[in-house]
Structure 1
Amino acid sequence: MAINEIYQYSLVNALMSGVSDSGITVTQLIEKGNQGLGTFVRMDGELLLLDGTVYQLQAEGKIRVAEPDDQIPYAAATHFRSQQTLTVKLESKDSIEAVLKKFDDHANNLFMSYRIEGVFSRLKCRTVKGQEYDGQPLSELGKNQFVAEYEDVEGTIVGFRSPSTWQGFFVAGEHMHFIDKERKIGGHVLELEADEVTIGIATVNNVHIELPTSDKFNAAKMSTDDVGLKSVEG
């Protein structure tokens, strides 16, 4: 795939419908990019792809390096190369949108990928604990997720900004996963603050989506639950 082209396997709506029992392998995902995010079979934790390594960010703050044959029911990845790097202060998660608009004010209907590095004064992260029964939807899992807050932690955030019209295919707006420098803590970012971090940004206008061919995917009744998605994805 080309630089700054997004590859995605499956749909967020599939996770909302509880379809997460199989997917592509870690080895296959690494071929699609050098950074990305997603989840694992049964939605067991958060996935973060960073510089060729796939990490499983598990509940209770644990992290493991994924095995090559671990399966991934949903992920988005890109061969990231920054088009511009800025040093910024982030007062909240919402302030990232202002940074992206400053980079390209005409990209409202395009995707953006980015990487944020530095010391975060405050982070609130969650990790989904995994399905308790077959077909359990993501919105229900979100009611029992593990949430942790961190202060003055150094690390990296991998993120995508998706247009609002793509809600259900992607997560509309900001979708970010964090891992600390020591590779000991991380998760899906709900809130953040940082006095000075660097953010590398790239605009993306080429998206490739690969759909599963499993019976469960084809049988699932999918619709876009905007309220449910916003509640679980922050």
Structure 2
Amino acid sequence: MLLISCAHCLAEGTIYQYSTIDSLLLGNYDGELSISQLLEHGDTGLGTFNSLDGEMIIIDGAVYRIDAKGKAEAVPAATHTPFAATAFFKTDSILKVDKTASLEELNRKVSQILGSENIFYIIRIDGQFESMRTRSVPAQKKPYPPLVEVVKHQGLFKFNKIKGTLIGIKSPGYIKGIGVAGFHWHFITEDRKAGGHVLDCSFENLPAKISSYSSLFLQLPETADFLNSDLSKDKEKELKKVEKNPGNS
């Protein structure tokens, strides 16, 4: 049973998250939350879909699935998610990010110009990227394997001189186990036809729009799989393997 029925129930400056990253890592890939319900709480964000069927990007109030071939498509409102985070984007500041040769460098530069490390941010970067490396994963069948096994079979995609949008969520370090501590980026092309979870990127002189959030609302699933899971173990090492760029291994 979902406890929130309208976006107005959340205070301004709140990120809404459904489920936890550790639950997803464990293999809980079926959720009760529909896309229409998710969009009541935000117009920008990231996530995935039931059965782990691709990467989710929420942009301008629309939800897209990037499938295991890297192709993007808008999803029906009745589609469900096992894990997602969203918020209403408001541009608090615009930061010019100069020549950036890697995702690691982007993370470092954005961190240097943000304020506190103890609140949440959503970052949006639009423009032409010199290079972009992304991934997505295929839909899974029960019994679901853990996420660290799924990504061994991920699809990898590379784009050069591509126009599109990066959406990133930066979360505090203390969020470990609940969300992805640090940066989590997804990408979609300008024509909304391709994208994925970002592994690496490079670009020159693009503006980064920053929206800050001082509240997190966590909605937990009530599925039998979630309620019966052992979520007491530290899965930080598994998460690092899942987030790792295979090109840097």
TM-score (norm 2): 0.89
Q: Would the alpha carbon gap of residues 151 and 116 (structure 1) be closer, same or farther in structure 2, given more than 3 Å must change?
A: same
CA deviations over 1:165-194 (Å, ceiling 9, x no partner): 212211111101100001111000010100
Residue of structure 2 in register with 1:111 after alignment: 120
Q: Would the alpha carbon gap of residues 100 and 26 (structure 1) be closer, same or farther in structure 2, given more than 3 Å must change?
A: same
Task: Note if 1:159 corresponds to 2:182.
Answer: no
Structure 1: 5+ residue stretches without partners: none
TM superposition shift of 1:100:
3.0
Structure 1 contact 4–113 (Cα < 8 Å) conserved: no
Task: Note if 1:46 corresponds to 2:55.
Answer: yes
Q: Give the partner amino acid of 1:48.
A: I
TM superposition shift of 1:227:
1.6
Structure 1 contact 180–186 (Cα < 8 Å) conserved: yes
Q: Give the partner amino acid of 2:105.
A: S
CA separation in 2, counterparts of 1:4 and 1:187? Answer: 26
CA separation in 1, counterparts of 2:197 and 2:168? Answer: 10
4+ aligned runs moved over 4 Å, structure 1: none
CA separation in 1, counterparts of 2:32 and 2:103? Answer: 30
CA separation in 1, counterparts of 2:74 and 2:204? Answer: 30
Residue of structure 1 in register with 2:67 after alignment: 58
Point out the structure with the larger strand share.
1
| 3-state SS of paired residue (1:168) | coil
TM superposition shift of 1:3:
4.0
| 3-state SS of paired residue (1:82) | coil
With 18-27 and 184-193 compared, the bigger mean Cα shift is at 18-27
Of 162, 172, 182, 1:173 maps to 182
Identity %: 33
Task: Note if 1:126 corresponds to 2:126.
Answer: no
CA separation in 1, counterparts of 2:238 and 2:137? Answer: 15
CA separation in 2, counterparts of 1:168 and 1:130? Answer: 23
| 3-state SS of paired residue (1:108) | coil
Structure 1 contact 25–69 (Cα < 8 Å) conserved: yes
Q: Would the alpha carbon gap of residues 100 and 204 (structure 1) be closer, same or farther in structure 2, given more than 3 Å must change?
A: farther
| 3-state SS of paired residue (2:203) | strand
CA separation in 2, counterparts of 1:179 and 1:34? Answer: 15
Structure 2 contact 32–223 (Cα < 8 Å) conserved: no
Q: Give the partner amino acid of 1:170.
A: G
Of 87, 90, 93, 2:103 maps to 93
TM-score (norm 1): 0.95
Q: Give the partner amino acid of 1:91.
A: A
Q: Give the partner amino acid of 1:178.
A: F
Structure 2 contact 53–138 (Cα < 8 Å) conserved: yes
Structure 1 contact 3–78 (Cα < 8 Å) conserved: no
Alignment of 1:1-234 (within 5 A): 1-89=10-98, 90-105=100-115, 107-222=116-231, 223-234=233-244
Structure 1 contact 35–80 (Cα < 8 Å) conserved: yes
Q: Give the partner amino acid of 2:109.
A: V
CA deviations over 1:111-130 (Å, ceiling 9, x no partner): 21111111110111000112
Structure 1 contact 119–196 (Cα < 8 Å) conserved: no
With 161-170 and 95-104 compared, the bigger mean Cα shift is at 95-104
CA separation in 1, counterparts of 2:137 and 2:176? Answer: 20
Q: Give the partner amino acid of 2:149.
A: E
Number of residue pairs matched?
233
CA separation in 2, counterparts of 1:230 and 1:83? Answer: 30
Q: Would the alpha carbon gap of residues 4 and 180 (structure 1) be closer, same or farther in structure 2, given more than 3 Å must change?
A: farther
| 3-state SS of paired residue (2:209) | strand
